[in-house]
Amino acid sequence: MEINKLYLSWKWVDDQINKIGDKLEGLDLEFVSGIPRGGLVPAVMMSHAFGIKYISYSSAKALPKELRSKTLVVDDISDTGVTLALAEELNFFTATLCLRVGTKTVPNLTGTLIDDDRWLVFPWEKLDSIPMQDYLVESK
């Protein structure tokens, strides 16, 4: 069975980062972090674009609660919402490049709404990537 995929470009990613960046003005953010794996590249890009210090997700989770609310945690997509739910439980300020209609967890900020079921292939992923959320892949 052929999976219907949408291949995203670096320009599309830049556009989403800029949309999110336009909404960051006035926020008191100390750090930016990315949820492994999908959020790592956009988090580093946001760090460079907006001058926010990047820290690893494991370091961010170890921050005291008052600093977590000043930490932007980024993921590529809130698809099912499972991965992003933990970040919200930990009191992070959250952002995703895109948000799928029907997700369980809506981030504080997002770039684009996805209203179909196509598998998104981000430019940092292999073109033949397996259409499965990271949390469902068994570790080796």
66-84 pLDDT, tens digit each = 999 999 999 999 999 999 9
Q: Half-sphere exposure of 65 toward its Cβ, with a 13 Å CA cutoff? A: 4
Q: Exposed, middle or buried by CB within 10 Å (0-12, 13-18, 19+), for 3? A: exposed
CB 35 within 8 A of CB 74: yes
Predicted pLDDT of residue 137:
45
Q: What is the value of pTM for the model shown?
A: 0.88
Question: Strands 31-34, 93-100: parallel, antiparallel or unpaired by DSSP?
Answer: unpaired
The CA-based angle 112-117-121, given to 5 degrees, is 65
pLDDT value at 90 more than 60: yes
